[in-house]
Amino acid sequence: MARTAVAMRFDRSDGVFCHVTSLPGPHGIGDLGEGAREFLGFLGKAGVDLWQICPLGPTTEVAGDSPYQSPSAFAGNPLLLGLDRLVEEGALRPSELEPVPDFPDDRVEYDAVRAYKLPLLRTAFERFDGSPTAEAAADLDAFREREPWLADYALFRALSAARPEDTWMEWPEPLRTREPDALAAAREEHAEEVRYHEFLQWTFDRQWRELREVAADNDVSIVGDVPIYVSLDSADVWANPDAFHLDEGNRPTAVAGVPPNPGDDGQRWGNPVYDWESLAEREYDWWIARFRRLFELADVARLDHFLGFVRYWAIPADADDPGAGEWREGPGRELFERVERELGDAPFIAEDLGFEDERMDALAYEFGFPGMRVPQYADWCEEGNPYQPMHYPEATVGYTSTHDTDTWMGYYGALPDHQRDCLHYNLGADGEGSIEWDIVEAVWASEAIVAMTTPQDLLGLGSDARFNEPGTARGNWEWRLTAGALDDAIADRLWELGEFHVR
């Protein structure tokens, strides 16, 4: 039998979705240190093939520390740097880590983490900057040469630090519109701060590559995440104005969102939309660079809001009403043909939830990108409902829950009685056992090419362990896994499921 397009890019496999910030560790936030290594060891023992994460970019307080609203689509988050790794290489002294604040172990307090970690990272930089070894200096120079986005990103962060109350759109016009003399003067004026941010990114890159080696040793591949849109206040928009619909002063003329539907007023996201015609003339160079960087950090990539590559809702920047927008054409197959020419058969997952569009489905099918299915969207009493795991087609990634949904137990607890009865019937469950493992097994047993769960669902945790609730500004991205919670018994059970269902 001929293999399907999706089976050409993916093996039948399984995974766990857990962002780095959620991992255990001693310094208030999951990082690239020992907690991540222990988590990869758990995945290896469980025979799990994939570790899915949210975007790795820096986060900001003003955006609620959402990894989907970053000042860069290329950079790594310095808060994820492992301090113990810096001690091991002599950039920090053990005594400088003391006293460690009494951080909670089940959630991230971002302000407290910043107050503790950022001064230590500054100390590590100053120690390095004062007397780098010849080998380290050469390695940093090679990183600068290899990553062309770094210079603009570091200058952007330096200028942002000098003007903390402003977005780049409030900067003086010569800086806002990137006049060469103004950029050169700013680079000289803020040279030390630029070097600081280059150091942080070089350190992140080294620590992440070391972690990828640990993943490979455990036969685990990493699934990264590509938000289709970037933050307006980002190095991406400031440094690449021709890639976006901006006016002569480099301010957006249109922003992204979704149109009104029966029962809602639509959404105005506020991200600048791409100038796909300009990008096509440049052979999609910015997107190729973005994907190339992503595949330096991950093995597989989830494409958020995949519909936006086919068509997208553009709202005039001066309009508050999402209904004032219009549908515009995206790049479609032309972009992904270019990606294949440059990067080969890149393994993408198409996030297609919430929209029905024949052209979107056809694009994903043509290139072998599996879509997504989440059982929390199911009508359990409707025969043949496509979100019931027994009806997942091969060309999908089946999840028990995602970062944007409630946990499985939170969802289950809120189900109306008749839906819960139908769910029990569909899963062959009596409601008396571990319903969280019933849904894991149902997803693992499905035809979906990839089956994915979360630590919260493996542990049977309720809504208080939810990672993110879209449309809310506070309390998101904070949940953490406590040390030792994912034990050998859970690993053994996952391994048995994977073996039984040929994953």
Q: Could you list the active site residues? A: 304, 351, 404
Q: Nearest 5°: phi and psi at 158?
A: -65, -45
Q: Which two tokens stand for residue 358?
A: 């024949």
> Packing angle between helix 180-189 and helix 150-162, nearest 10 degrees?
70
Q: Which two tokens stand for residue 154?
A: 């570091």
The identity of residue 127, as a single letter, is R
Which residues contact residue 332 at a Cβ distance below 8 angstroms, ignoring those fewer than 6 apart? 309, 310, 359, 363
How far is residue 78 CA from its own chain's centroid?
Answer: 15
Which residues contact residue 471 at a Cβ distance below 8 angstroms, ignoring those fewer than 6 apart? none
Q: Check if the beta carbon of residue 199 is closer than 8 Å to that of residue 140.
A: yes
Helix, strand, coil shares of the chain, percent, nearest 5, are: 45, 10, 40
Element (H, E) at 254: strand 254-258
Burial of residue 361, with CB atoms counted within 10 A of its CB: 0-12 exposed, 13-18 middle, 19 or more buried: middle
Q: Check if the beta carbon of residue 21 is closer than 8 Å to that of residue 108.
A: yes
Q: Check if the beta carbon of residue 75 is closer than 8 Å to that of residue 155.
A: no
Rounded to whole angstroms, how far apart are CA atoms 30 and 149? 26
Tell me the helices (H) and strands (E) count for the chain, helix number first: 19, 12
Rounded to whole angstroms, how far apart are CA atoms 446 and 392? 6
Handedness of CA 32, 64, 257, 157 (dihedral sign): negative
Q: Check if the beta carbon of residue 309 is closer than 8 Å to that of residue 331.
A: yes
Q: Which two tokens stand for residue 372?
A: 């997504």
Which residues contact residue 220 at a Cβ distance below 8 angstroms, ignoring those fewer than 6 apart? 40, 43, 44, 48, 49, 50, 51
**Alpha-carbon distance values, 174 to 165, 186, 239, 378 (Å):** 18, 10, 13, 53
**Alpha-carbon distance values, 50 to 13, 128, 253, 498 (Å):** 8, 35, 40, 12
- Residue burial 31-70, b: 16+ Cβ < 10 Å; e: rest: bbbbbbbbbbebbbbbbbbbbbbbbbbbbbeeebbbbbbb
